[in-house]
Each structure stands twice: as C-alpha cells, then as structure tokens.
Chain A
Amino acid sequence: MQVTEQQRTENPLKTLPIHHKRITNKSMNDEINHKELADWLTAVGQDRDKQAFTNLFKFFSPKILRISSSKFNTQAIANEIVQETMTNVWRKAHLYSADKGAPTTWVYTVMRNVSFDLLRKIQSKKEDTLSDDIWPTLDVADEEETEFADHIENQKVLALLDSLPEKQQQVIKGFYFMEMSQEQLAQHLNLPLGTVKSRLRLALNKLKQHVDLQLGDNHD
C-alpha cells in the first residue's frame, strides 16, 4: 500500500500521460490474434469452457501483471489485480459480444475497472465499487433478454425495421414477429447462437435509439 502523501494530494490533472498513437488495423492484426481471443471469450461465456479460460489466462495475466506492477509498484497489489480481473472475466464473459468490439477492449475495461476500485480503496479508504456505474459498458448485453410487449406500436417498429441492416432485420422479424426462439433462429439461419444473440441486441439498440419503447419483462 505504497501511496505517498504527494501522490495523494497532487492535482490529478497535471500528471496524466496522453496517448496519441494511432493504431492501424494492420498492426492490430499483426500483434494480436483477436479472432482467437474472441472465440475463447465466447466459449467461456457460452459454454463455461475451462480450457478456453486457461488460454485467456495465459495470454492476459502476464500482461495485466506487468501493467499493474508499473502502476502500483507492488507485486502484492498487482497479483490482486490479476486475480480479480481474471475472476471477472470468468464470471462476466457471457456479457461479451464479439460484435460489440475487440476482446482486448473488453478485458482492458474489466482490468481498468478493477484497478480503479482498488486505487480508490487505497487512496480514499473507500470500499465502494463505483467503476461499474461510471463505465457501464460491460452490461450492454442486458437488453438481449427483453422482449417488446405485444401491444406496443408494431406499426412504428415495422417502419423503423427498414432502417436496419438486412441481417439484423432477419433476426428481429424472426424473433419478434414469427416468435421463433433464438436457438431456432440460429438453426434456421445457419448461424452460431452467439451471433443471433448479438445481432438481436444490436438491432434492438438501434431501434431504441429511434423510438422510446417500453421494454417488457425478462424473457427466457
């Protein structure tokens, strides 16, 4: 717990590093195999796949350890961040969606939130976990289990559907208007279940941006 008085009282606005370096898609692909990471993360989320988790652990934990060690200057805290981050990856992987962004971004967010709460605990002696409220990006998935109530303005929604990409229209129409289950849709469209789920979610998000819909109760 080495936080000096100086660090504590320093104006936080003066000491921030700024990263302007832009990363091209090419270098991203050269450096990190996103597809593989995304597959592992999806396997953990959907099938609780322990081997996939082990792969993720071996890829991320040394890097998390290095980042946390340079940030906190003690190995004990760095270990804690590895442990906490990887635990959250295990327990929250079902919230990850390959369509929403890179797996590295998702894991980074988990790690950053863990570090933020831990830093607060050290500096301000507060046990609160504010990070999930400040960066609620991990729960973009929570609309996937919801359904439009039957009486809702179908007409209005139908009109808006045309504004969606064809692939998203397919799942929305199948799920909400033909009342197929997500599993049936996956089979029917010959797609992985995860893809159906994320397309639904994306489509719903887009629709919600356009119309103020009251979402119904949870739907299994």
Chain B
Amino acid sequence: MIKHHPNTELLSGHVNGQLPASLSAAIAMHNELCPQCARTVNNMTEEQAELSFEQSPGEATNDIDFNAIDIEQMIAAITSDESIELLAEDVPMTVTVKGQDYKIPRAIQHMPMGKWNSFGKITRARMDLNEGDIHTSLLQIAPGGSVPEHTHKGFELTLLLQGSFKDEMGTYVAGDFIMLDGEHQHTPETTDGCLCFTVADGAQHFTQGINKLLNPIGSLIY
C-alpha cells in the first residue's frame, strides 16, 4: 500500500500550475496509482476554478486594459478555424534498462530524456527539463543494489515507479512519493530492483566542494 503522499502545499501548487514540470509530473504519476490524492486534486481543481471565475471582472482590474483586445476580431479569428483537436492516442511506452522492461507513465512520455549511464548497479538517465538547480532523472537500481548515503541542500524527491526498495525508514512500494529535505539522510537499497523518478534541488552553491569530496557518487546520481 502507498504510504507516502505529496503534502497539501504541493498538491495545491500542482492544481495551480505553479510547480516545476518535474514535480507536477511526479504528482501526476503518483495520482495515477493513488485514488485518494487524485480525488483531492480533483476537488481542489474544482474549488480553484470556482474561485477564479466567480469574481466579476470589474474587481481588481486597475492595470488591465480589456479594451486593448478586439473581442469581435479575436472571436472571428478563433471560430474561422473549423478543425477540432484530435486526441493523441495513449500508446503504452516501455523502456528496457539492463534487460529489464519498465512501463513509462504517461506524464513523462514526451519529456526529453538523455542517455542511460551506469554506475555499478545504478543506471540513470537525466530528463532534459532545464529547470535550473532542479535535476530530474529516471533511476534504475539493479537487484541487490543500493544508493550510497547522501544528502542534499534542498529537497530530494523519489517517486517509486516499479519494484520496491527500503531504507532506514521503511519499505516502499510503487507510487510512494518520498520527499526528503536536506536534514535527512538515507541509503536506499533494493532486493529485487526498482525504477524511480527522482527530482533533486541541487542548490549546491556553497556546499558543492565539500559534498563532492565527501560523497562524489551521491552528487552524481541524483
């Protein structure tokens, strides 16, 4: 059973479209496996929509000039296009890492992904999202593998997509959304192997040198 969920603040940011794509994708993938959070997000979206559209436009519009938009012209331009948006088919996508097949959830199917690189039992592909200090990866750990102890200055999110792993704090299953801050340390290890989606806020401005010396592998991985 999934025991680790995104907090309310994150879900709210997701609903508002304010999170980085990496985190929103992680929440979407979690919600695919977690009906409870999916329902919360649906409710929040409904509420947010009401809040957004209930106010009359007369309020708080000091700086906006609606007259700058030629309404009739815009409507005519939009409706002159008779075509409708056809849906892209939801084609299942799999990836094979070290002989193991994994399903790629829809939320990241079109994310640009780099090459797979291996460090011992750990294989990683970076997602090319260009989100500053935030690094996003797919991380596969082969059976019997573990990630060396590491910390981050910012946050570190691990979303378990397939398989299972455990650390000092417990055992995790697919869908678990494990958010750690810089104060926590952990050493994930897996018996049967797993695939994770990881998002880490490097924020390595002043600890980078020391981190690198103490823990070169950790900073390479996430």
- Cross-interface CB contact of B13 among A12, A87, A135, cutoff 8 Å: A12
Give the number of residue pairs across the A-B interface with Cβ within 8 Å: 186
The proximity string for B residues 44-55 relative to A, scoring 1 for CB distances below 8 Å and 0 otherwise, is 111111111111
Report if A196 contacts B (CB, 8 A). no
Known: A11-B154, A23-B50. A105 touches B107 (CB 8 A): no
Report if A170 contacts B (CB, 8 A). no
Contact B13 A16 (CB under 8 A): yes
Contact segment of A58-66, A147-155, A172-180, A184-192: A58-66
List the A side residues contacting B133 at CB < 8 Å.
9
Known: A16-B13, A50-B79. A134 touches B49 (CB 8 A): no
Known: A53-B79, A94-B84. A18 touches B17 (CB 8 A): no
Distance in angstroms between the alpha carbons of A95 and B21 in the assembled complex: 24
Give chain A nearest CB distance to B120 CB in angstroms: 31
Contact A104 B49 (CB under 8 A): yes
Known: A13-B155, A21-B51. A88 touches B85 (CB 8 A): yes
Distance in angstroms between the alpha carbons of A9 and B23 in the assembled complex: 15
Contact A12 B19 (CB under 8 A): yes
Contact B18 A130 (CB under 8 A): no
Contact segment of B60-68, B95-103, B211-219: B60-68
Report if B109 contacts A (CB, 8 A). yes
Contact A133 B107 (CB under 8 A): yes
List the B side residues contacting A219 at CB < 8 Å.
none
Contact segment of A76-84, A161-169, A200-208: A76-84
List the A side residues contacting B81 at CB < 8 Å.
87, 90-91
Contact A12 B84 (CB under 8 A): no
Majority DSSP secondary structure for residues of A touching B: helix
Distance in angstroms between the alpha carbons of A139 and B88 in the assembled complex: 9
- Cross-interface CB contact of A16 among B12, B59, B79, cutoff 8 Å: B12
Contact A105 B49 (CB under 8 A): yes
Report if A2 contacts B (CB, 8 A). no
Known: A13-B10, A16-B12, A134-B28. A87 touches B75 (CB 8 A): no
10 contacts between A and B (CB under 8 A): A11-B203, A12-B23, A16-B13, A18-B8, A19-B47, A63-B53, A82-B74, A87-B81, A107-B53, A111-B52
Closest 3 CB pairs of A and B: A62-B57, A108-B49, A116-B17
A interface residues with partner B (beta carbon < 8 Å): 8-9, 11-13, 16-19, 21-23, 28, 31-32, 48, 50, 53-54, 57-63, 65-67, 69-70, 75, 78-79, 82-83, 86-88, 90-92, 94-95, 101-102, 104-105, 107-109, 111-113, 115-116, 119-120, 123-126, 128-136, 139, 141-142
